[in-house]
Amino acid sequence: TSKSTLATSLASGDTSIVQNATSTSSNTNTDSTTILTGSATTKSSTTLRGNGTASVTSSSPPEPINTTPCNNYPEFCARRYSNITMVAAHNSPFVRTGSAAANQEYPVTTQLDDGIRLVQAQIQWPVNGTVPHFCHTSCDILDAGPITDWLTDIKNWVASHPYDVVTILLGNGNYSTPDKYAPYIESTGILSYAYTPPVVPMNLTDWPTLSQMILRGQRVVFFLDYMANQTAYPWLLDEFSQLWETPFDPVDASFPCTVQRPPDLPADQAKARLYMINHNLNAEVSLLGTSLLVPAVSLLNTTNAANGSGSLGASAETCKSDWGRAPNFLNVDYYNYGSPPGSVFEVAARMNNVTYDRACCGGVGVSGATALLR
């Protein structure tokens, strides 16, 4: 067993967290109930017959106040996974100085340290390769290496951050069946933290709270965009039956909040699912004879801004108005750029009705897309 300051009860499906309480929980896949001890005291006076007065001390339960952050905010512990807006790193492994095909500036552990809670990556099989890699359209353009390296980094980060829930969205670039690369995922040990849903597909009300996921030890949610088989691999969730996306690789700075994938999804079904907005503006270039959409780096500070035309903040507000609730994921390039730096996290905090007051990002106070062009 292990002790933590996160004191949580799963009785009746609810989460109760008490300030300064200590919990003991087992590392199993079954629900745990934490026994809370101690109470606050109040003092009252009782008048006795005659001229005497006695002081009586009585006990009353403490207020349920949580002080341990889940995904950086104490308020999130009691919220469902489906009721939180998280910042996502588009093409998380594609970190390459001087490459137009790169999408991020910092490696995945830094991304997670800074507050990214969904990391997305595209799996490809190199020509004549026997191990799946993360590649941008083609492994000749940008090869970020074997998927096991990146996944091991995430597993190690999750192991050292026991109150954080991370989502991994895998793009199946070659449309391979999951059995081709599931063994490589399993070999990293990350599945010891994988979330397995109780029903398929999951709607908004089926998702547990972050506290429940933390106590169960299921703190990594895997999605696969195409060819998922949840019968054979229940931990690898079929993305588009449970999560929809706005237009992918957008080149329109107005960022319409419409469903692109899966196609023809009725509005009533869309409203019952998670959704992700792809707020990463692209420009078309030719690399090695291949036409490729890459980040419009000269506009990053505008695209990732908290306010203004074409900003992430404006896009999130539009989606919230159009769909009656905030987006679950804000999928961005170069999250560390914006106006000001960290503005993507400010937008998420605004959607979550909390305050973003952390320093951003990567330990380097760089703002301005010109740094990418040196």
Q: Which domain holds residue 28?
A: 1-37+63-68
pLDDT in tens, the chain (374 residues): 333 445 443 433 443 333 333 333 333 344 433 322 233 333 333 334 444 444 444 555 666 677 899 999 999 999 999 999 999 999 999 998 888 889 999 999 999 999 999 999 999 999 989 999 999 888 999 999 999 999 999 999 999 999 999 999 999 999 999 999 999 999 999 999 999 999 999 999 999 999 999 999 999 999 999 999 999 999 999 999 999 999 998 998 999 999 999 999 999 999 999 999 999 999 988 877 778 888 999 999 999 999 999 999 999 999 999 999 999 999 999 999 999 999 999 999 999 999 999 999 996 444 444 345 33
Judge if 31 and 179 occupy the same domain.
no
Helix axes 312-323, 343-352, angle to 10 degrees: 20
Is 161 considered catalytic here?
A: no
Q: What is the pLDDT of residue 65?
A: 73
Mark which of 25, 52, 68 sits at the end of a domain.
68
Q: What is the pLDDT of residue 17?
A: 36
In a domain, residue 218? The reply is yes
Q: What is the pLDDT of residue 166?
A: 99
Nearest by Cα to 334 from 357, 312, 314, 309: 312
Judge if 24 and 115 occupy the same domain.
no
Q: What is the pLDDT of residue 64?
A: 64
Q: What is the pLDDT of residue 41?
A: 36
φ, ψ of residue 74 to 5 degrees: the values are -60, -30
Strand partners, 149: none
Q: What is the pLDDT of residue 110?
A: 98
In a domain, residue 337? The reply is yes
CATH of the domain at 355: 3.20.20.190
Distance, in Å, from the CA atom of 45 to the CA atom of 35, rounded to the nearest integer, reads 31
Q: What is the pLDDT of residue 61?
A: 65
pLDDT in tens, 176-210: 999 999 999 999 999 999 999 999 999 999 999 99
Judge if 351 and 229 occupy the same domain.
yes
Is the peptide bond between 257 and the residue preceding it cis, with omega within 30 degrees of 0? no
In a domain, residue 95? The reply is yes
Distance, in Å, from the CA atom of 28 to the CA atom of 46, rounded to the nearest integer, reads 49
Secondary structure (DSSP) of 234-247? TTEEEGGGTEEES-
Q: What is the pLDDT of residue 291?
A: 81
Distance, in Å, from the CA atom of 301 to the CA atom of 335, rounded to the nearest integer, reads 10
* Total structural domains within the chain: 2
Q: What is the pLDDT of residue 367?
A: 40
Whole-model pTM: value is: 0.83
Judge if 201 and 312 occupy the same domain.
yes
The single residue of 90, 133, 161, 279 carrying the catalytic annotation is 90
Judge if 17 and 131 occupy the same domain.
no
Q: Residue 268 burial by CB count (10 A; 0-12/13-18/19+): exposed, middle or buried?
A: exposed
Structure token pair of residue 103: 């999408």
Is 136 considered catalytic here?
A: yes
Q: Is the dihedral of CA 77, 80, 83, 87 positive or negative?
A: positive
Q: What is the pLDDT of residue 287?
A: 74
Judge if 189 and 270 occupy the same domain.
yes
Judge if 23 and 82 occupy the same domain.
no
In a domain, residue 210? The reply is yes
In a domain, residue 44? The reply is no
